[in-house]
Amino acid sequence: MELRWGQIDVNAKSNSVPQMSNITSFSDVDVLKDSSVDTVNHANYCEFGQSLFGNEQPIFEVSDEIKYGIWSNEISDENCSFQNPPILDISFENLPATSKGIYLEFWEQTNLYPYEVNIKWYDDDNVLLSEKDFQCDNWSFLFENVVNEYSRVVITFNSMILPLSRLKITKIIYGDEVTLTKKDIVKDSAFILEELDLYSETVSINTFECEIFSNNSSFDFVTNKGNLNTLQANQLLEITVEDENYGTFFVKTLSSENSRTLKIKATDILGVISNSFFKGDVYEDYPFTQFIDDIVYSSNIELLFDGEHNGFELVDLEDYTLNGWLPSTTCREALRQACFSLGLCIDCSRSYKITIRKFETFEKTYITDSSIIKNTKKQSMREKYTSIHLYSYNISKGITEQTLLEEVYYDVGTYSIGTDSPIWQYSIVGAEIISSNANIVYFEVKTAGVVTITGTLYDITSTLNIKKDEYIYTSDIAKTFDVNRLITSQNVEGLLEKWYEYYNYMYGSTAKILKPLKLNDNIVLSNVNGVVCYQKINLLYGKHSDIKIVGDKNVD
Amino acid sequence: MWIEPITNRSYKDVLRANELEYKWKNHTITDDEKTEWLSNLLGRYTTNDINRVNQNINYLSTLLLELGYSQKVNVKIWENTEYFLKNDLINFIANIDIIRSTLPSFYTTPNICDDLRQGNSLLDYTDANDIENMLEDKKEIVENMIKSFIYSDEIYMGEF
């Protein structure tokens, strides 16, 4: 069993400004800011080191759809040396970088790579911090050298592994992957906690925690030697057990209770976006897919992930739209309110992405008694509700005006103010509005003086909707939900049905099982036919897992 | 000028080329082997091979033009510093096709694989042999044609 993670400076790539001169016209230095580059197998006859007799590979062609990384115009001579060595010069704009080295990928398809490489690291005053010569021996190579707080790195490629070859760089990572085996991890300390709410009444953040021995791992936090500085807040950890993906997590806290071990606590991507600010707005048939892109943009996670809706996987939600008012809030709360209003489920387990889909799309699977640890099955009744209460909201443009701001500004510049109630029309005196939505207005003060902003409010009315058990003989126990103004007369009926049905799932079951399930698995356990909503996985020791399911008595 | 074609590549040559590449990468290659690598190694297909084929196409095309065939073939001589794209492969094969279709073939003259014509696959060593065998056949046919014109000339001049 192994736990692997990248010791990578997660901010370095997005902050980097890579530059390289004398490169081919189709080269794109900015691919080094992307998480990965499509390096489809391509052959090119006219390069001496690229003749590929006996291989079935596509012919090299220039296409806007394919990124090849960086190809040097310079070609190694007959002794493999570059007469004018290609130089990759990377500076870091905002934050200096810290890493245990620079990991580069070259041309995997033919295992073509540079041989002699010199790297210099500089601080923000351009003072040399460190310099090292390397001899590369593979298409993927870590140029290992721990350097803290560098603002510029200059990589000079002096020779190639073959004559008459051009340098091809396809990927850069500021750091490296670390593999920890069982011996590096304190017994019974590595856990993943996964939780799921079928209709997003709450949105749980899955967590990973483990405690590692400092002397066995690649750093020593007592002496502050090794790669400790590369293990930083929001560090991306990929948890893999026996080649199976157990999810991607981001470091939240590092702590130590003694001099020998270090505790790592990490959250899934929901934990990362948890506190990011989301502007919200008044929505009218606003595509849910667009809303997710807004979340990605607001939480600044687009650089962590590739592809459409970076960091999210949306299952058949193209036709879903939002209506109503979402006040300014955190990205996590915005996501919760939106998914609640649409009856959608948010799941981050076993993936590096946030999957959002309808609960109904989950597949049913079965577990056998042999996979359950003996005498661990328990069954219980859940809290009983006899009615579901849900407010829906109607929003329309009103006529009431409200003064939002009346203040003297002494400095010119750009400012913003938020509102407690949604505004559909702004007027401003003494400054100029740059942009606005229902919750926030950005304005520019060009001349010092009094600025007055007035807004015309939306009118909001609410209606209580109730779904009740008609045959109750006791007093009513109502389930009420938090205020969510994305619930309108259009979607409230469907939500009432879903929640009424959900609270008719009267039974819960718990058990310890030998091999973890997946959170959305629909299973039968202790005669309860239900869905796995909670799981605590002991990663190191047998992968024993505590599970909870919510469901109804098995009628089969 | 006609350059002697290479038509005897074998799989053994490909293996030898791979072996030398392995030695380059492991820094165990000898000076003699470096020279072997940098010469026209049969198991690799490089700029040298493309340029030789192109030069022979040019040779045949010039002869054909002199003989009254109107099809002019434009070939390019490649530098090691250039890169050869899919379209360049298609043009390369198209030029070979022009020579092939302009002149009759022997029944033993090899064909060109359609995948190559469409730029959908790389050459293998047998394709490379076939191309140069075909050009060699065409050269023989053109030269026979030239010889036959000379005989006709003599007949028309009437020395009896």
Q: What is the pLDDT of residues A312-329, one digit of tens each?
A: 888 889 999 999 999 999
Cβ of A116 under 8 Å from any chain B Cβ? no
How far CA A449 is from CA of A442, A453, B136, in Å, comes to 17, 13, 89
pLDDT at A237 over 90: no
Strands A354-358, A440-445: parallel, antiparallel or unpaired by DSSP? unpaired
**Comparing A415 with A179, which gets the higher pLDDT?**
A415
pLDDT of residue B160: 42
Nearest by CB: A53 against B25, B87, B125: B125
Cβ of B19 under 8 Å from any chain A Cβ? no
Find the closest chain A residue to B35 by CA distance: A78
pLDDT of residue A91: 95
pLDDT, mean of residues A502-525: 78
A527: left (phi over 0), alpha (psi -120 to 50) or beta: left
Q: Which residues contact A458 (CB under 8 A, 6 or more apart)?
A: A282, A325, A395, A396, A397, A398, A421, A422, A423, A424, A438
Strands A387-409, A478-480: parallel, antiparallel or unpaired by DSSP? parallel
Determine the distance in angstroms separating the CA of A29 from the nearest CA of chain B, rounded to an integer.
19
Instruction: For A279-319, write each residue's pLDDT tens digit.
Output: 999 999 999 999 999 998 898 776 566 556 677 888 889 99
**Tens of pLDDT, residue by residue, chain B (160 residues):** 899 999 999 989 888 988 998 898 889 999 999 999 888 788 888 888 899 999 999 999 988 888 887 677 888 898 877 877 888 888 888 999 888 888 777 878 888 777 777 777 777 888 889 999 999 998 998 888 877 765 555 544 444 4
Answer positive or negative: Cα dihedral of A468, A469, A475, A480: negative
pLDDT of residue B79: 85
pLDDT at A447 over 60: yes
**Comparing A232 with B2, which gets the higher pLDDT?**
B2
| Residue type for position A201 | E
Q: Is A396 helix (H, G, I), strand (E, B) or coil?
A: strand
Q: CA nearest A385: which of A279, A285, A499?
A: A499
Distance CA A553, CA A159 (A): 70
Q: CA nearest A188: which of A134, A86, A263, A127?
A: A263
The single-letter DSSP state of residue A130 is E
Cβ of B91 under 8 Å from any chain A Cβ? no
State the CB neighbour count (10 A cutoff) for residue A164: 21
Q: CA nearest A552: which of A487, A502, A511?
A: A502
Nearest by CB: B89 against A24, A59, A71: A59
pLDDT of residue A305: 62
Cβ of A408 under 8 Å from any chain B Cβ? no
pLDDT of residue A48: 58
Q: Is there a contact between A171 and A32 (Cβ–Cβ < 8 Å)?
A: yes
Tokens of A308: 């459409």
Per-state percent for chain A, helix, strand, coil, to nearest 5: 10, 50, 40
Determine the distance in angstroms separating the CA of B100 from the nearest CA of chain A, rounded to an integer.
22
* CA angle, B11 then B15 then B19, to 5°: 170
Per-state percent for chain B, helix, strand, coil, to nearest 5: 60, 0, 40
ipTM of the complex: 0.82
Q: Can you point out the beta strands (E) in A288-343?
A: 312-314, 321-326, 329-330
Q: CA nearest A297: which of A322, A273, A270?
A: A273
Q: Which residues contact A298 (CB under 8 A, 6 or more apart)?
A: A276, A277, A278, A279, A331
| Residue type for position B78 | W
* CA angle, A316 then A321 then A324, to 5°: 150
Answer positive or negative: Cα dihedral of A61, A64, A66, A71: positive
Nearest by CB: B50 against A46, A61, A73: A46
Tokens of A218: 């690649």
Distance CA B37, CA A221 (A): 51
Q: Is there a contact between A371 and A514 (Cβ–Cβ < 8 Å)?
A: yes
Answer positive or negative: Cα dihedral of A61, A65, A68, A74: positive
pLDDT of residue B37: 86
Instruction: For A488-501, write each residue's pLDDT tens digit.
Output: 999 999 999 888 88
Distance CA A8, CA A10 (A): 6
Least confident among A83-87, A346-350, A457-461:
A346-350
Distance CA B46, CA A342 (A): 61
Tokens of A121: 């690291």
CA atoms within 13 A on the CB side of A261: 15
In chain A, % of residues over pLDDT 70? 85
Determine the distance in angstroms separating the CA of B101 from the nearest CA of chain A, rounded to an integer.
25
Distance CA A437, CA A442 (A): 9
Instruction: For A183-228, write each residue's pLDDT tens digit.
Output: 788 888 899 999 988 888 888 899 999 988 876 555 566 665 555 5
In chain A, % of residues over pLDDT 90? 40
Q: CA nearest A504: which of A390, A380, A386, A391?
A: A386
Least confident among A197-206, A428-437, A501-510:
A501-510
Determine, for residues B86 and A59 on separate chains, whether the beta-carbon distance falls below 8 Å. Answer: yes
Q: Is there a contact between A83 and A166 (Cβ–Cβ < 8 Å)?
A: no
Which residue is listed with tokens 């003072």? A127
**Comparing A386 with A472, which gets the higher pLDDT?**
A386
Determine, for residues A53 and B123 on separate chains, whether the beta-carbon distance falls below 8 Å. Answer: yes
Cβ of A56 under 8 Å from any chain B Cβ? yes
The single-letter DSSP state of residue B77 is P
Q: Is there a contact between A432 and A447 (Cβ–Cβ < 8 Å)?
A: no
Burial of A235 (0-12, 13-18, 19+ CB in 10 A): buried
- A542 φ/ψ angles, rounded to the nearest 5 degrees: 80, 0
Q: Is there a contact between A177 and A6 (Cβ–Cβ < 8 Å)?
A: yes
Using CA atoms in the order A288, A289, A292, A296, what is the torsion angle rounded to 10 degrees? -160
Distance CA B128, CA B45 (A): 8
pLDDT at A445 over 90: yes
The residue among A57, A59, A74 with the most chain B CBs within 10 A of its CB, best to mutate, is: A59
Q: Which residues contact B114 (CB under 8 A, 6 or more apart)?
A: none
Burial of B26 (0-12, 13-18, 19+ CB in 10 A): exposed
Least confident among A15-19, A101-105, B71-75:
B71-75
CA atoms within 13 A on the CB side of A250: 18
Residues of chain A with Cβ-Cβ distance to B125 below 8 Å are 53-54
Residues of chain A with Cβ-Cβ distance to B78 below 8 Å are 46
pLDDT of residue B159: 47
The residue among B86, B113, B115, B125 with the most chain A CBs within 10 A of its CB, best to mutate, is: B86
Cβ of B119 under 8 Å from any chain A Cβ? yes
pLDDT, mean of residues A444-464: 95
The single-letter DSSP state of residue A362 is P
State the CB neighbour count (10 A cutoff) for residue A66: 15
Q: Is there a contact between A88 and A105 (Cβ–Cβ < 8 Å)?
A: no
pLDDT at A99 over 60: yes
Instruction: For A43-98, write each residue's pLDDT tens digit.
Output: 666 665 555 565 555 666 777 777 778 999 999 999 999 999 999 999 998 889 98
